[in-house]
Amino acid sequence: MAIPIGGYIFDGPFPSPDSLQSRSGVYAILDPLGNGRWKVLDIGESGDLWTRVKSHDREECWNRQTSSRWQVAAFYCDAPTRMRVEKELRDRYKLPCGKQ
């Protein structure tokens, strides 16, 4: 599965962070709105996406903001790329969770 987010093709979305790999990249937390539509709740980056999303300090916000159960998508890339992509996407989307 794949989903375009801000011009990047992310793997997913997945109903659980257990589907993520322990690799460097950018994650997107998504609210499924139905009919193939998604709301972006949060964007972040990490050297280990599985560990970061699995024990994230903003999960409570994700749970409050979703209409059902949030899902996660991943864009795997190296450290310089993930930092650039995270900033670009955080600037592009109005995110209800996390610092703007």
Residue 2 has pLDDT above 90, yes or no: yes
What is the per-residue pLDDT for 45? 97
**Chain center to CA of 96:** 13
What is the per-residue pLDDT for 19? 96
Beta bridge partners of 100: none
User: How do residues 4-42 score in pLDDT, each as one tens digit?
Assistant: 999 999 999 999 999 999 999 999 999 999 888 999 999
**Of all helices (H) and strands (E), which one includes residue 3?**
strand 2-5
Q: Sheet harboring 8-14: ordered strands across?
A: 2-5, 8-14, 71-76, 25-34, 37-46
* 42 contacts 26 by C-beta, under 8 angstroms: no
Cis geometry, peptide bond prior to residue 13 (ω within 30 degrees of 0): yes
Q: How confident is the model at residue 67 (pLDDT cuts 50, 70, 90)?
A: confident
User: How do residues 74-86 score in pLDDT, each as one tens digit?
Assistant: 999 999 999 999 9
Q: Kindly report the number of other CB atoms within 10 A of residue 41's CB atom.
A: 24
What is the per-residue pLDDT for 57? 94
Q: In order of start, what are the domains of the chain with their CATH numbers?
A: 2-92 (3.40.1440)
What is the per-residue pLDDT for 1? 87
User: Is the C-alpha dihedral spanning 34, 88, 41, 3 positive or negative?
Assistant: positive
What is the per-residue pLDDT for 98? 77
Residue 99 has pLDDT above 90, yes or no: no
